[in-house]
């Protein structure tokens, strides 16, 4: 058996215990004091020297300076939702690791242990980062702005993310692999009044409905049919009573695409159409976008193929498989715009194994036997990549 996988199997019981501790105590966004303390202590216990990066990130380096550097990334934040799994280690604080970030963090801690034990044989340096606020799509950007890609600048980057699929498999898409994400808010401002006298008011609900319909034309009439664009209005808020016309209505939603030019165009046209339609119905309109948003995730084709080979060598031929790009988003994309990167979707159970629910479902559970395999993939990919690129 491959020695990386053998060591990961030996660590499996400990990793499951670590994962359950993190799972039972989820935290969200940048507010991760307990998680940060826990991860920091684990790293120090390995003889490593973690560093704080940005608002709530951790970085640690393993290996020798002066050679190539590969970055391994895991995210740490949970979702603001109540868990319904009834697991003995279920969260009870109103938050939940429903996206599997507890598994990501645990797997990278396992990789850190393996890599530290084999530090002398590393042909370069591994930079491990534990990232906050992925669910808010702001954590990676925060760490990049804090200098995580400097001193040294990594030459390649790898991230693993759990997915509802056969346990121990690793899916990937070459090139554009995940959509961008821009969250928008459209406030339609009218003139409220009695519902029985609409002619004396300016109806923001009427204008808002026409805005929703008009936005559909961006995808169907203004973007090349071969371009992926998903623009979705997911929330409408307005009104307080059935006989009172409100003064304003708020629409919120997201834009996702695989192309930065399409992304910029869609944002521009959303604002123009929303304001133009509102004006046609005598209403005012304010359009805002939350934070900076994130670009599409780009999987470097050479790096992705190379790591897929390492995964097959480690876990068996056919473990890594090519899949369709996802319209969903992952803020590892911010790093992928700066350095060659690869994102793999690691299977943690499907319906055939009794795991009925996917991520972001309050009932989702994961096959914990996948954790040590993810740790092994992180570690083996780093060891092999550094060895291959030592003199390049």
Using one digit for the tens of pLDDT, what is the confidence trace for 99-140? 999 999 999 999 999 999 999 999 999 999 999 999 999 999
Cβ-contact 77, 133 below 8 angstroms = yes
Q: What is the mean pLDDT of the chain?
A: 97
Confidence of residue 221 (pLDDT cuts 50, 70, 90): very high
Predicted local distance difference test score (pLDDT) of residue 347: 98
Half-sphere exposure of 264 (CA within 13 A, CB side): 2
Describe the strand order of the beta sheet including 229-238 as a list of residue ranges: 229-238, 248-257, 182-189, 284-289
- Looking at residues 238-251, what average pLDDT do you find? 98
- Looking at residues 21-30, what average pLDDT do you find? 98
State the residue for tokens 């990789």: 111
Predicted local distance difference test score (pLDDT) of residue 320: 98
Predicted local distance difference test score (pLDDT) of residue 238: 97
Query: pLDDT tens digit string along 317-359?
Result: 999 999 999 999 999 999 999 999 999 999 999 999 999 999 9
- Looking at residues 199-227, what average pLDDT do you find? 97
- Domain(s) labelled CATH 3.30.70.360 in the chain stretch across 182-289
Strand partners of residue 254: 183, 232
- Looking at residues 240-246, what average pLDDT do you find? 97
Residue 252 above 90 pLDDT? yes
Predicted local distance difference test score (pLDDT) of residue 392: 83
Q: How many CB atoms lie within 10 A of CB 31?
A: 15
- Looking at residues 295-309, what average pLDDT do you find? 98
Nearest to 163 by CA among 226, 104, 88: 104
Predicted local distance difference test score (pLDDT) of residue 256: 97
Query: pLDDT tens digit string along 58-76?
Result: 999 999 988 999 999 999 9
Assigned CATH topology for domain 3-177+295-388: Aminopeptidase (3.40.630)
% of the chain residues with pLDDT over 70: 100
Predicted local distance difference test score (pLDDT) of residue 51: 98
Residue 1 above 80 pLDDT? no
According to CATH, what is the number of the domain 182-289?
Answer: 3.30.70.360
Query: pLDDT tens digit string along 352-392?
Result: 999 999 999 999 999 999 999 999 999 999 999 999 999 88
Predicted local distance difference test score (pLDDT) of residue 52: 98
Predicted local distance difference test score (pLDDT) of residue 391: 85
- Looking at residues 20-44, what average pLDDT do you find? 98
């Amino acid at each position: 058996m491959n020695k990386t996988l053998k060591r990961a199997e030996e660590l499996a019981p400990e990793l499951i215990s670590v994962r359950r501790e993190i799972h039972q105590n989820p935290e969200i966004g940048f507010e991760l004091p307990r998680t940060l303390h826990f991860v920091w202590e684990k790293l120090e216990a390995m003889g490593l020297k973690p560093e704080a990066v940005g608002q709530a990130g951790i970085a640690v380096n393993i290996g020798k300076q002066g050679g190539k550097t590969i970055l391994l990334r895991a995210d740490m934040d949970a979702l603001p939702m109540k868990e319904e799994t009834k697991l003995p280690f279920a969260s009870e604080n109103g938050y939940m690791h429903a996206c599997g970030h507890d598994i990501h963090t645990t797997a990278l801690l396992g990789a850190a242990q393996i890599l530290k034990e084999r530090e002398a044989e590393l042909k370069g340096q591994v930079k491990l980062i534990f990232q906050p606020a992925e669910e808010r799509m702001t954590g990676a950007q925060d760490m990049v702005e804090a200098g995580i890609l400097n001193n040294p600048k990594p030459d390649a980057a790898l991230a693993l993310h759990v997915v509802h699929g056969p346990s121990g498999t690793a899916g990937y898409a070459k090139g554009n692999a995940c959509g961008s994400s821009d969250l928008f808010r459209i406030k339609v401002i009218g003139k409220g009044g009695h519902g029985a006298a609409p002619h004396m008011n300016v109806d923001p609900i009427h204008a808002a409905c026409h805005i929703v319909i008009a936005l559909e034309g961006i995808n169907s009439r203004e973007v090349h049919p071969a371009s992926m664009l998903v623009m979705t209005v997911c929330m409408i808020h307005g009104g307080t009573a059935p006989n009172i016309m409100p003064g304003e209505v708020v629409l919120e939603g997201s834009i996702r695409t695989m192309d930065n030019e399409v992304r910029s165009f869609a944002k521009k046209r959303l604002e123009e159409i929303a304001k133009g339609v509102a004006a046609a119905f005598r209403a005012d309109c304010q359009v805002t976008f939350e934070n900076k948003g994130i670009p599409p995730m780009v999987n470097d084709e050479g790096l992705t193929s190379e790591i897929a080979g390492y995964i097959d060598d480690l876990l068996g031929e056919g473990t890594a498989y090519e899949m369709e790009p996802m319209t969903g988003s992952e803020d590892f994309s911010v790093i992928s715009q700066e350095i060659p990167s690869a994102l793999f979707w690691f299977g943690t159970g499907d319906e055939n194994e009794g795991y009925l629910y996917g991520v972001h479902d309050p009932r989702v559970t994961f096959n914990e036997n996948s954790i040590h395999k993810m740790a092994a993939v992180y570690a083996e990919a780093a060891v092999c990549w550094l060895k291959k690129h030592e003199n390049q």
